[in-house]
Structure 1
Amino acid sequence: MQIAILSFDGFNELDSFVALSLLNRVPGWHAMICAPDATVTSMNGVMISAGMRLDTLPDMDAVIVGSGVRTRQIAADEAVMARLRLDPLRQLIGAQCSGALLLATLGLLETVPVCTDATSRPWVEAAGVRVIEAPFHASANIATAGGCMAAHYLAAWMIARGAGEAQARTVIDYVAPVGEKEATVERIMSVVSPFLRA
């Protein structure tokens, strides 16, 4: 399983790094930061090397689109948006917070309820999609999550879809706080599981 964590300058570290860490805990999976350039800098000034560039997106099995402080500018940049070639028929695709604006701009969210954060909500709604007050929603191969701490929902959904619910539970259990492992696994999976059965 090859996964791109799409991150632009000004990206939110929680979105990108939490998903990256959780997904790479699945044996045989390989998640990497994907960006337009060789390096990308977070909203808090953390500069990292991108593991892959935008031209690799069509080759990925899954893509997570993180949020950031410059998402509206990216959504308005036709040249950049033309490079975001995603295929919901073949790929698992997730977006967090303002990342949903990019999926909406690509026309991938026209018929599904969307989750995003409070700041991004008016922008996403202005793009013509219906936002719901929930931390996570998935329809077919597309999922959205709202709130900086919702990255584990996207990761758990993607793991469960690609490697099974047992593997998702194992990964969440491993990273959950000591003394709260069972409760954390059950809370996260109770949010994600209904969309797996559907």
Structure 2
Amino acid sequence: MHISILSFDAFNELDSLIALGILNRIQTPGWRVTIAAPTAQVTSMNGVTMHRHISLSEASQADAVIVGSGMKTRDIIQDPEIMSQLQLDPSRQLIGAQCSGALILARLGLLSNIPACTDLTTKPWVQEAGVEVLNQAFFAQDSIATAGGCLASQYLAFWLIARLQGTEAAKEAMHYVAPVGEKEAYVQRAMNNIVNYLPDNTDV
């Protein structure tokens, strides 16, 4: 099972790395989490340089993809060379977008008739793309999910684990990373945010 997190130049560390950390709590054999980028290295909005594991084209073959956020997303969607590498397909992949990542899903035509969550700065741009923006942290429909606000990246990770490994595995991963003395509250909040967006056959 391969999950890839797409990160571009000027990426938001919280959006990419919180999800990376939570997803890597799963120790199931064959479970693989990667960072994908258009170049060998990308530098975050705060000057942190990160090496990618795989290319964007390779990420398009993953079982699940999170499209990360950053300060240059509006430039990215205007770059045909980058966008042409993103061959995402909700019929065979779980796809999540964090904050301005919703702009990329909209440009790819993946949010047609699907409302989305995003951050407050990106909200008007997503609306300009013809997508209804919800005033909440997380929303999913079928195999596409969006999250709004940096710390909502935990909900994308929780949703992916719940879909791929079951909710008990998601709860264990969240429990591991949550603050001491607040673990049960964090787990319950995450569950409350995603439970209504799980298929009926998910092990809850």
Q: Could you tell me which residue of structure 2 aligns to residue 193 of structure 1?
A: 195
Mapped to 2, the partners of 1:83 and 1:107 lie a distance apart of 15
Structure whose residues are more often helix by fraction = 1
Deviations 1:13-65 (A, max 9, x none): 00000001111111232111100111111000100110011120232000000
Q: How does 1:139-150 map to 2 (within 5 A)?
A: 139-150=141-152
Query: Tell me, which stretches of 5 or more residues in structure 1 are unaligned?
Result: none
Q: Does 1:73 align with 2:90?
A: no
Q: Could you tell me which residue of structure 1 aligns to residue 21 of structure 2?
A: 21
Instruction: Please report how far the alpha carbon of residue 120 of structure 1 lies from its aligned counterpart in structure 2 after TM superposition.
Output: 0.2
AA matched with 1:39: Q
Q: Could you tell me which residue of structure 1 aligns to residue 3 of structure 2?
A: 3
TM-score by length of 1: 0.98
Deviations 1:75-102 (A, max 9, x none): 1112211111101011010001000000
Secondary structure class of the residue paired with 1:19 = helix
Q: Could you tell me which residue of structure 2 aligns to residue 135 of structure 1?
A: 137
Q: Could you tell me which residue of structure 1 aligns to residue 154 of structure 2?
A: 152
Q: Among the aligned pairs, what percent are the same residue? A: 56
AA matched with 1:18: I
Mapped to 1, the partners of 2:78 and 2:99 lie a distance apart of 17
Mapped to 1, the partners of 2:60 and 2:8 lie a distance apart of 18
Mapped to 2, the partners of 1:128 and 1:137 lie a distance apart of 17
Mapped to 2, the partners of 1:54 and 1:151 lie a distance apart of 20
Q: Could you tell me which residue of structure 1 aligns to residue 186 of structure 2?
A: 184
TM-score by length of 2: 0.95
Mapped to 2, the partners of 1:78 and 1:59 lie a distance apart of 19
Mapped to 2, the partners of 1:66 and 1:59 lie a distance apart of 17
Number of aligned positions between the proteins: 198
Mapped to 1, the partners of 2:187 and 2:60 lie a distance apart of 32
Mapped to 2, the partners of 1:45 and 1:34 lie a distance apart of 18
Q: Which runs of 4+ in 1 moved over 2 A?
A: none
Mapped to 1, the partners of 2:73 and 2:199 lie a distance apart of 32
